[in-house]
């Protein structure tokens, strides 16, 4: 195989990993909706516990023991506890949104997320924005402001999902740790609280696991692999295709969520929401044009 063929094969495999990852995240509402009868707090606790179990098995199979090195470093443990709280709360808000008919609002959060990432880069990493990126942020802010003014309240689900995931990405970038071992430590640090909570609700007679149907139990257990496998695919894609390509493909996830919210679960989508989404989409289009220009300039050097 020639170097050109190898490069093409690597790129195609990266593209497939990215599509698999973002498609899976995009159809998440279909999965969590099957657990609508389970309180969101219990779904989150099970997702944490079964993620630990599955990640331990997965890393054993992959012979990846880097998480043992992380356990020996207090600074890394402190940082991973912080990122664990961020990702755990993000999971909770998302599950709550899906099971309380706010899928459309959740999808808006993940459309906004790339622009929040840019804002955090300016605030914390001293990155500079060009004019197109500033204009993109103005449109996104206008979309959120429009929705807040006309609906009468801040779209807190959208904003929390966008900001918490952006902060998670920022801190994980600064830590520069492997994805799966890092996630294992994050969930491992949260697991004592999750296990205590599940024990407590079971003692109160409100526990769902092993007290309803076998299908519910299986779906709760599968929350572990459903969480870990897309992240594994994401890590594979990120090392094989350009960041700009990943940036475009990531819009697949909120688009699928929006379609599912509208067509499958028949959530309302008023003219106010259409205008808000439209402003955000214009901002993302401008932002994408900016990314394309930067990428071409770098390749021309």
pLDDT of residue 130: 82
Lookup result for tokens 């206008």: 142
| 237-254 pLDDT tens trace | 877 887 667 777 888 999
The answer to whether 55 and 147 have CB atoms below 8 angstroms apart is no
Report angle CA 106, 78, 51 to the nearest 5 degrees: 50
Evaluate the CA torsion angle 166, 168, 174, 180 in order and state its sign: negative
Is the pLDDT reported for residue 200 higher than 70? yes
Q: How confident is the model at residue 298 (pLDDT cuts 50, 70, 90)?
A: low
pTM above 0.85, yes or no: yes
Is the pLDDT reported for residue 161 higher than 80? yes
The answer to whether 276 and 107 have CB atoms below 8 angstroms apart is no
Tokens of 114: 């790339």
Cα gap 37→32, rounded to integer Å: 10
Q: How confident is the model at residue 225 (pLDDT cuts 50, 70, 90)?
A: very high
Mean pLDDT of 203-232: 93
pLDDT of residue 12: 85
| 87-106 pLDDT tens trace | 999 999 999 999 999 999 99
Q: How confident is the model at residue 291 (pLDDT cuts 50, 70, 90)?
A: confident
Cα gap 93→113, rounded to integer Å: 15
pLDDT of residue 299: 66
Mean pLDDT of 193-206: 95
Higher per-residue pLDDT: 243 or 117? 117
Is the pLDDT reported for residue 177 higher than 80? yes
Mean pLDDT of 211-225: 94
96-100, 118-122, 277-281: segment of lowest average pLDDT: 118-122
pLDDT of residue 76: 92
State CA 145 to chain mean position distance.
23
The answer to whether 108 and 283 have CB atoms below 8 angstroms apart is no
Q: What is the DSSP string of the chain?
A: --HHHHHHHHHHHHHHHHHHHHHHHHTHHHHHHTTTTS-HHHHHHHHHHHHHHHHHHHHHHHT--HHHHHHT-HHHHHHHHHHHHHHHHHHHHHHHHHHTT-HHHHHHHHHHHHHHHHHHHHHHH-----HHHHHHHHHHHHHHHHHHHHHSS--HHHHHHHHHHHHHHHHHHHHT--HHHHHHHHHHHHHHHHHHHHHHHHHTT---TTTS-HHHHHHHHTHHHHHHHHHHHHHHHHTTS-HHHHHHHTTHHHHHHHHIIIIIS-----HHHHHHHHHHHHHHHHHHHHHHHHHHHHHH-
* Length reported for the chain: 301
Is the pLDDT reported for residue 199 higher than 80? yes
2-11, 76-85, 88-97, 126-135: segment of lowest average pLDDT: 2-11
Mean pLDDT of 112-122: 84
Mean pLDDT of 168-191: 89
pLDDT of residue 217: 96
Mean pLDDT of 73-78: 93
The answer to whether 209 and 217 have CB atoms below 8 angstroms apart is yes
Mean pLDDT of 39-49: 96
């Amino acid at each position: 195989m020639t170097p050109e063929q190898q490069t093409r094969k690597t790129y195609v495999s990266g593209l497939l990993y990215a599509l698999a990852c973002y498609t899976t995240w995009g159809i998440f509402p279909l999965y969590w909706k099957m657990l609508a009868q389970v309180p969101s707090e219990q779904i989150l606790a099970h997702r944490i516990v079964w993620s630990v179990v599955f990640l331990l098995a997965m890393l054993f199979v992959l012979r990846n023991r880097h998480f043992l090195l992380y356990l020996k470093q207090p600074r890394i443990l402190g940082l991973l506890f912080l990122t664990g709280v961020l990702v755990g709360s993000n999971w909770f808000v998302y599950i709550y949104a899906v099971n309380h008919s706010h899928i459309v609002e959740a999808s808006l959060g993940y459309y906004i997320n790339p622009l929040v990432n840019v804002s955090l880069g300016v605030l914390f990493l001293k990155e500079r924005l060009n004019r197109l990126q500033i204009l993109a942020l103005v449109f996104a802010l206008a979309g959120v402001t429009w929705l807040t003014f006309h609906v009468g309240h801040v779209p807190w689900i959208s904003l929390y999902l966008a900001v918490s995931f952006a902060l998670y990405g920022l801190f994980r970038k600064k830590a520069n740790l492997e994805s799966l071992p890092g996630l294992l430590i994050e969930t491992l640090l949260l697991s004592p609280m999750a296990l205590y909570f599940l024990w407590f609700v079971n003692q109160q007679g409100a526990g769902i696991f092993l007290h309803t149907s076998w299908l519910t139990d299986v779906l709760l257990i599968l929350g572990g692999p459903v969480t870990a496998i897309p992240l594994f695919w994401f890590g594979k894609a990120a090392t094989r295709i350009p960041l700009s390509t990943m940036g475009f493909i990531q819009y697949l996830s909120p688009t699928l969520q929006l379609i599912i919210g509208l067509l499958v679960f028949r959530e309302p989508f008023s003219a106010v929401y259409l205008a808000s989404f439209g402003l955000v989409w214009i901002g993302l289009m401008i932002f994408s044009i900016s990314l394309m220009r930067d990428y071409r300039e770098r390749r021309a050097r």
